[in-house]
Amino acid sequence: MSTAPTVLVVGGGAAGNAVTVLLRRAGLAVDLVEAKDDWNATAGSGITLQGNALRVLRELGVWDRVRAAGFPFGSVGITAPDGTVLHVARDVRTGGDDLPATVGMQRPQLQRILIDAVRDSGARVRLGTRPVSLDQDGDGGREGVTVRFTDGTESRYDLVVAADGLNSATRAAIGITDKPEPTGMAIWRVATPRPEGVTRTDLAYGGPAHIAGYCPTSETTIYAYVVEAHRDRATIPRESYADEMRRLACGYGGHWPEITRHITDPAQVNYTWFDRLLVEGSWHRGRVVLVGDAAHCCPPTLAQGAALSLEDAWVLAQLLTDGRPWNDALFAAYHERRIRRVRPVVEASVQLGQWQLDGVRDADVPGLMGRTMTMLRELP
């Protein structure tokens, strides 16, 4: 390109923030727009970051802050509903042997770290606005996208990166009709103080719910979750969220009684369905390309959602900054690299949940998890 390219990133979650930082580091002019005024800085309870996510966070230059804010660990326990530990397995170090296998942390902490990285990169950030139209054209032989925003402004970009999540309006605007589908499960999540002795993720299968688990997120906090068959959200009043989660959690032993007594504020409890999405066919139309949840989403049964999104950002940024033309061949190469890695993770994540829904007791859960995580040790 004869002049410096300009990029619009739509969405300020993990994928959008990451691609913004990486493209700015390469000298590109980047605008990031986020529909929420608070930039999602307080949303969510906790997040489990596997090594392949940590590998990208290190590339972003924020690994030291993540390590200081989070809780690293290297194993997962399988327990009976009464809390009896049945098996402890070492986690696969998917980011390489020089990184922890897993770091749990409070999700707002991770978002604030990424926000600071975006600010420090010099990107232009606009909050509380989003695109309302995207018109692709060739202006004097140079392809681009003219974008009109909800605040009435208009700008032209060489590329638009759609990182606006599972229900991406940008994805729909460019004619990609794939939509998320519920898998049949739902999850209750809450952040609580860390019980003494909780130093890893423990999972209980069976009991009052399909899965009950927790993950340390700092020296003083954890996030706890209970997975059940999904229910019509309209039948669950918001003010009853703490009661509903506590009712399910009360059926578990071990550390759960201490966790359960902190589940009191319905405003701190989150309830969401598990969804599946994998956009089939190319992830771009012209100069608009999808990353993260806009292209794929899977249940958190393998804790790979954020990792895959961060990997998308890393791979796309590599391709956009290695000197090749920004054309269909580049975006096809991006899709080819990502689909062969994302598809098995989405399918395995859904399968783990389906075995629970179907009551399959002899399923090879450790085998499927091990094979999938071992595959993720390879560079994306």
Asked, for residue 17, whether it belongs to a domain, the answer is: yes
User: Is 353:347 a contact under the CB 8 Å cutoff?
Assistant: no
Distance CA 46, CA 106 (A): 4
Q: Bridge-partner residues for 192, per DSSP?
A: 222
- Residue that the structure tokens 């794929």 belong to: 296
Is-contact 323 340, C-beta < 8 A? no
Q: Is residue 270 part of a domain?
A: no
**Measured CA distances, 95 to 100, 231, 247, 375, 379 (Å):** 8, 36, 38, 11, 8
> Would 347 be classed as within a structural domain?
yes
Distance, CA of 151 to CA of 367 (rounded, Å): 51
Torsion from C-alpha of 236, 237, 242, 244, nearest 10 degrees: -30
**Residues 6 or more apart in contact with residue 232 via CB below 8 angstroms:** none
Task: Pick the closest to residue 24 from 321, 223, 261 (CA basis).
Answer: 321
In-domain check, residue 246: no
Q: Which residues of 3-37 are buried (b: 16+ CB within 10 A; e: fewer)?
A: eebbbbbbbbbbbbbbbbbbbbbeebbbbbbbbee
Beta-carbon contacts of residue 380 (< 8 Å; ≥ 6 apart): 52, 311, 314, 315, 337, 338, 341
Range of the domain at 354: 6-72+106-180+275-362
Q: How far apart are CA 246 and CA 259, in angstroms?
A: 9
Instruction: Name the DSSP letter for residue 97.
Output: T
Per-residue pLDDT of the chain (380 residues; tens, 9 = 90+): 457 799 999 999 999 999 999 999 999 999 999 999 999 888 888 999 999 999 999 999 999 999 999 999 999 999 999 999 999 999 999 999 999 999 999 999 999 999 999 999 999 999 999 999 999 987 655 789 999 999 999 999 999 999 999 999 999 999 999 999 999 999 999 999 999 999 999 999 999 999 999 999 999 999 999 999 999 988 999 999 999 999 999 999 999 999 999 999 999 999 999 999 999 999 999 999 999 999 999 999 999 999 999 999 999 999 999 999 999 999 999 999 999 999 999 999 999 999 999 999 889 988 999 999 999 999 99
DSSP H/E element including 144:
strand 142-149
**Domain containing residue 310: CATH number:** 3.50.50.60
Task: State whether residue 270 is helix, strand or coil.
Answer: strand
Q: How many folded domains does the chain comprise?
A: 1
Token representation of residue 93: 């170090």
Q: Which helix (H) or strand (E) holds 85?
A: strand 85-90
Q: Enter the tokens of residue 277.
A: 């999405």
Q: What is the DSSP letter of 13?
A: S
